A and B are shown apart, each in its own frame.
Chain A
């Protein structure tokens, strides 16, 4: 082993760095995160699946028969809502729980690159979130006969949505010192996403100032790119949405990096 040699002969190891160290750290942290939440993952994933399917079936109760395009819009909207909800709500709740049980300091004393720990977290969120999305789509296919045309673009669309959504939630929950406040903010986020983000309804239904605001927020664009990858001819201006989300992803990564590297 290469070592820094010292006056009294006891060698100190070189600092671990580089891609191999990052990958090894990521895999080890993922093992930790998966084991840590293994009692909860099935429940959370199941809850996500139920809420995804429930949203779709709920739309069916509100408006029993819908034109195919409207049905496709609602069903894909439900899928996107369940996908975003995990990053905005479940993730922050898990971090708040760590802070409340006092294990946060231990987790942050572990010798892994912060970005590897963050990516492990994103992966965990994806595992919890994807079943909800799939359940919403299956329920949509069964209940409304929505015919999907799933393209390979579904992979980057889902990835960019989960990465930016989860990292924003993650940065938020690390930046707010009080876990009680994190939980409150997370509740407000859920309320905003569910009620006032034009995901399962067109932005034109909102007051114009709110619709304009949403052009700059990520939610409507997340819905647009995922929709585009699932159903033919339902989404427009997809390249613009990818651009907005790319910017949001960079912002999410930069904010996360700043928050995670910050020392009080």
Chain B
């Protein structure tokens, strides 16, 4: 990892919020650290992103919040409630959309939603109303009476989202909620996530889709190898990279990474995609270098653009996010 910043000081957001403090989770008798001293807090009304590559410890943290795993040390609280001491109250106050698809093969969409609402303690009439409201908001009317076995992955994901939020807890944890969902309904889902936050819910979004998070979260934490490596608003995290640009080269298949000029501050290669960060002063030199690589047959094309959260993420974790891998 190059150019890393020291982790920010522990952030305590006060008594009304969801707060994880110095959460450590080890396996193999203390040899493997899945979470290594994670401290973060989410206010009611806030959409908070938890970003990190696969295996960074995101899901491990979430499972400790809802009492499926017990931390080795540290505390997890919501206001006066201690989630580690009392996992029952954690489950009442948190709704969880796991990354795996919901087990609703035998359920019609509206049944899965209303029964989950009842399980979550919602009064029947209110749950029915909210089911109708969310099915309409996400434009799922035509699947209302469809069995889970007949749903596409995206529709099933959306139904899972409604099951989680039909009678939400004070913390709504969404693990990769937009997986498989089409762009139109992704937008509708984000509207609903915003609405939840507006109603005072603390939304905890787990993802490795950095570009989506950049547009949608109020604050975010990046974790890597169990450690929190950065926390802040998307723009504060990009602050260090101001006066820098992203120069991206699509390398010709089968070529090695060319030797990089000195003006390249950071670089990452994913497949044939070489992403470099250069200072604004070096823009002209950078373009000339990129063109030279094309003439040499090393690269097929290049693009110069503003720094995104993606670049910060790549710098901090040494991983490209889902979007880069797909690109």
Contacts and interface: CB of A to CB of B under 8 A. Distances in A.
For chain B, give the interface size range.
35 or more
B244 to A, nearest CB: 38
A183 to B, nearest CB: 18
A10 B66 contact: no
Contacts of B87: 263
B68 A28 contact: no
Main secondary structure of the interface of B (DSSP, over half): loop
Interface string A13-44: 10110000100110011011001111110000
A237 interface: no
A12 B96 contact: no
Interface in B98-151: 98, 100-103, 105-107, 111, 115-116, 118-121
Nearest to A105: B98
A4 B89 CA distance: 13
A28 B119 contact: yes
B115 A106 contact: no
B2 interface: no
B69 interface: yes
B103 A6 contact: no
Contact of B119 (A8, A12, A102, A111): A111
Interface string A100-127: 0111011111111100000000000000
A114 to B, nearest CB: 8
Interface stretch (B73-81, B179-187, B225-233, B298-306): B73-81
A98 interface: yes
Contact of B68 (A16, A35, A102, A108): A108
A140 B120 CA distance: 46
Contact of A106 (B14, B44, B98): B98
A7 interface: yes
Interface in B77-94: 78-81, 86-89, 91-94
B121 A16 contact: yes
Nearest to B70: A263
B237 to A, nearest CB: 26
A163 to B, nearest CB: 23
A226 to B, nearest CB: 32
B200 interface: yes
Contacts of B15: 6-7
B246 interface: no
B170 interface: yes
Contact of A32 (B16, B63, B119, B170): B119
B106 A37 contact: yes
Nearest to A262: B70
Contacts of B80: 4, 6, 12
Given A6-B79, A12-B170, A39 B118 contact: no
Given A6-B15, A7-B14, A31-B118, A15 B92 contact: yes
Contacts of B100: 101-103, 105-106
Interface in A140-186: none
B103 A28 contact: no
B83 to A, nearest CB: 11
B67 A263 contact: yes
Given A6-B16, A103-B100, A109 B66 contact: yes
Nearest to A106: B98
A251 B271 CA distance: 57
Interface of B: 14-16, 44, 63, 66-70, 78-81, 86-89, 91-94, 96, 98, 100-103, 105-107, 111, 115-116, 118-121, 169-170, 200
11 contacts: A6-B80, A7-B16, A8-B14, A10-B16, A10-B44, A13-B93, A13-B170, A25-B119, A35-B106, A109-B91, A263-B68
Question: 10 smallest A-B Cβ distances: which pairs?
Answer: A103-B103, A102-B100, A263-B70, A111-B91, A111-B92, A28-B118, A109-B96, A6-B16, A28-B119, A8-B16
Interface of A: 4, 6-8, 10, 12-13, 15-16, 21, 24-25, 28-29, 31-32, 35-40, 98, 101-103, 105-113, 263-264
